[in-house]
Structure formats: C-alpha cells, structure tokens
Structure 1
Amino acid sequence: MAQRHIIDFSKLDKEDLESIGKSAYLLSELKYLKISIPDGFIVTTSFFEDFLEQTGIQAKITKIRKLNHPAIEDSIEKLLTPVKKEMLYAAIPQNLAIKIYNSYKKLSGVFKEPSLRVFSSTHSNKSVIFPNVKGDANLILKIKRIWSFYLENAVTIVVQKNIDSKIKGKIFTDDFSRDKLNFLTEDQISQLKVYAQKIQKHFYFPQELDYALVKEKIYITNVTPLTNVSKKQEIFFSNKKIRKVLVRGISLNPGIVTGKTIILKDQNVTRIKNGEIVVLPKLNAPIWPEIKKAKAIVVDSLLSKGHDRMIYRKHLQFPIIHDARNATKVIQNGSIITVNGMTGDIYQGGL
C-alpha cells in the first residue's frame, strides 16, 4: 500500500493502525463505531520523514548520528539542538504543504478559522498538546514544534476541531453514576449511554469518556483507558474488582485472552503447551511451529521491521504484545494473566 501523508479519521485502513499511535487509533475506532467526534485529520510519519528528506535535514541528522564515539556520546543531543531550530524555520516543501492546507480548508470552510487541538499520537501515554490553534500558518508552526520533540522517532500528529460548549463532562463506561448529567435531556442521556455501551463492548475494558453537547448533539471528545486514570496503574472492572497492570506494550493483534504463563528466557519452545501465554525476550521465525500452540505472546523487544510484523499478524491469529520491555522479569512463570490485544496492556489475574 502506498504511503499516505494526510489521512481523514474516516479513511484509516487496518494497515495504518500499528503506526498512528494510541490517540489517533482510539479516535479512528470511534469513527468506525459511528460515534460522533469532532472532525479532524492525521499527519502521518511518512509526511514527517519526507519533510526531513526533502529539506536536507535528515542528511544532517544522519551525519551527527554517525559521530558515534564514547567521548561525545553525551553531546549528541547538544549537536542536534541547532538542527531542531533549523527545522522550526524551514519551509515545508510545496508538494507537502498543499496537503495540509487542503485538509485545513475542509475543516475551516470558506471564511472561518476554527480553533484546533493539535497533538502528538504515540504508543506511550505521553503527548505534546497545543489546545487552541487558529490559522493555517499557526497550524504549520505547531506541527513543526511537535516534530522537534520527536526528532529521532517519527511521530503521528492529530489535528482536530475544538468543541466549544458550556455543557461538557466525563463519564465512565462501566459506571454512569460517576457523572452528573443534570444539564442533559433524557434523549441526550440515552444517546450518551448508547455510546458508552458501544465503546465498552468494543474495547473490552472500561474507558473514561469526555463528552460535549453542541446544538443538541452529543460528541465524544476524548477516550482514556481507565489504566491511564489511576497513578497506581489499577483498573476498575464492572464487577468492582481491582486489576493491576503488570506491563504495557504495543499491540500487534487484537483480542483478549486469559491464561497461564510460561516464561521462555532460553527460547526453548519445546516446553510450550497448548493454550499457554508465552512470554519471551524476542520473537524469531525458527520458533514458529511450537509458538503456534500459544494462546497469546508477550515479547520484551520491539518488532521494528514492518515486514516481520506483517508476517506475525498474518500467521499468528492471537493477541501479540511486543515492546513490553521487562515483561520476562515482571511476569511470574506459571501465573494467570490477562492480555488485552486492543490496548497492549497485560493484567494480573483472569477476567
């Protein structure tokens, strides 16, 4: 599939999901569920990479990175500082800039300059956010500002209309009583409940939803897994039990499973039994015949090659979480865990 520079929320393909980051992924899923969200578009990592290449900035970054000597290792960031500054002042090539302008016009209409929310979308929970951006020139500047924070790792950027509403709030998909809905009509409350039920069913686990009312219409403006709400990394299930998030990684395949773990630090896959959740440092093609017995796979390392990810996704039809860092150390051999292939979270205990 050809690389795309700008993607409307409604035009995301399944192939895009691994590269667009968590925030953009959640928004795209809401669009798929036919839930009303503020209009917007995504500036992809391909756009950023082509910008660096066409302006010659990538060549400078590569040259600095080649200065890989212990004596200057701590100075690499300082050497990149002027490159970041240059990027902020560099003009985006016309063939790329026109794509942002065209998408901006679709949001703004002929005479209006809408207030926009511009933010990074990564697979972590950290994001750079500019909440009230107006005008196309300011939009371009904020996009480059975000790029400057992620010079070494290309990042997806979400551009979305701000919702200006006096009636807004938060709800939890598993417990409507946590929010005061006094300013909503019965029909609006019913619509909000339908949205909450759809989201809960789709993502399996409870979510915190931000909503706003505009011209009698309910919009969902943000979705946050409840694992992100608690500083202690705990999640409330609808049965009121508290589940601890053991480790978090990047999801490769969707689905949710519970099972007994087997830790394979030695890659000895002959020990795998049918239906076990395999936790291992890295995933190699030679271990395929035995690994197919697994119910799910959790991998410490990042599967960096897109070709490898495509093969694993195609041939291993169960949840795979990679880049889980220290999973082989945190998860105990023989323990019961739950793997959420939608969010990349691994929980202690069963459902």
Structure 2
Amino acid sequence: MQNFPNWKGQPYYPISQFYRERFGEKVYKISVSTAESCPVRKKEAVCIFCDEWGSAGSLLIQSDSLQTKIRLSRERIAKRYKADRFLVYFQPYTSTFERLSTLERQIEISLAEEKVVGIVLGTRPDCLPKKIFPLLRRFHEQAYVSVELGVQSFSNRQLTFLKRGHTVEKSLEAIQKLHELSGVDVGIHLMMGLPDESPQEIVEMAETINQLPINNVKLHNLHVLSNTPLEELYRAGKFSPVELEEYAEKVILFLEHLSPHIPVQRLAAVASRWEELVAPEWTKQRMRPVQYMLKQMADRKSYQGLHYQK
C-alpha cells in the first residue's frame, strides 16, 4: 500500500477531512435557495431526473432575505453540532443563471456574515458567462470559493439519455476555464447507475477526472422522483434503478481508480423528500448505504487510489 494522506481511518478521502486541513476545524454547509430556474427549464424542457425543486433539500421560506436564511441556518447548525465555521452553498437550480449583479450582491452578503469562511456555487457546465470568471477570482482573493458543476457523466450517450442539454466537451471546457480564469476550486457532480453502464465506463470516468484540474467529486445514484420524465420510463418498464449492492460495486470500482488526492463529497444521494421518491427505497436511508460501502471496502482491503496510476 502506498502512503496516502491521513483519512482518519476512512478508506477514501472525505471532503470533511479536506475542510479540516484547509480551515483547521470542521466546516458545515448552509444551503440557500436564490436561483429561480436553469437554462433547460427556460426552454420548457427538463433533465430527465429533475423535479420541480431543482435538487433542493429543505428550503427556508422564499420571502426571507438571504441574510435571514443564513443566520437561521447558522444558529440551527451551531446549536446541533457546536459548529463555528460555515460555507454558504447556493444549491438549487443554477446559481449562475441569473444576473451577475444579483449574484455578486448575494455573495457579498454571504461573505459579510459572521463565521462564514467561503461560498460554494452549484451550476451547469454550459452556464458560465465570460463575466463570471473575474467576479469569481475577486471573491477567491477574499475567501474560499468553490464551483460545483453538474457534469453528471463523461459520456455523451448518457448525457443524451439524461436530457442534460450539454455535452462532455462543454464540461471539459468549463472545468478548464474555471481553473485557468478564476483560480477557484472546481467540484463536479457525477451520476452512477445509468443504463448499460459498463465497468470500463466507470474506470475511464475516474481516469478522466485524474487528468483534469478537479478539486472534489460528489457521487449520486440515479433515482426516480415523482412527476419527472424518469418516472414515466420507470412506470413503462424502460428504466430500473440499481439496488444498493450493485451501486456499491460501481462506487468502489470508481474510488479504486480515482486519485487519492481528490476529496469525495458524498458516496450516494439521499432523497430529500421521501414522499416524492419512487425508487429505489434505499435512497431514503442516509447512513445504511454509506456503512454498507465502507464495510465492503474494509472486507476487501480496498481504498481510494488502489489502482490509481499517475
């Protein structure tokens, strides 16, 4: 076994460990909802898996000011976890799909809040206007800034199935531009459990990431929510989500080929609204899927980077 960084007994590099290394203590995310839509919805289309909430978790009242949202969440998290450092996460829909002057003001408000050490912007690879890069660089000089791109797949075939409305080439372009023009951390979201997804496809995805200026990854299992195009396929017998055991095999294979120096934000998705989850049932569980995967890795003496080659 090579000498990889100290992951506190974990077989992979968790983002929490990265934050501790960066800030000297545990850091918590405050999720806020400010974006009203995304370019795909504006075209009266929708990603095959996306519900009306645009990937949002529990949202505070929309009429609340951003400042109020941050303070209420900060107080709640601090009381529960004794947290003292926070990142404001602009999560639902596409945060850069609004007027840059509005986004600029929202970032300023966020960074002015007590105990906020940085921001995280969730967006699409095809929604990065030229003027966003100097804006991000300016804030990057003041605080920690990360942009999370909904890449989802490095296969154009899979992106077409997902009806993402962007290509692999656009994702690669967005990753390079963010790295070169703004200097911010670049995170990507990836989906597994896609139709006809081969082991080779998963290995190639990890190897592609290893060659790119990517600072962290977040993994999701493709699951079915009500009132989505994916539900229609599921009801028609044209799509079946993978069970936990199969998904775990995919994640472990991916991690074994992923660079040990790339933090992992999450191993699987958790349904934020149980009443809207159609399948699979295990997506309702927060801890069991992760515990299952970690046990499998421990039993096999597997770890992130096991088969990594520079």
TM-score range, shorter chain: under 0.3
Please report the TM-score for the alignment, with normalisation by the length of structure 1: 0.23
The structure having more radius of gyration, on CA atoms, is 1
Quick one: higher RCO (CA 8 Å, sep 6+), 1 or 2?
2
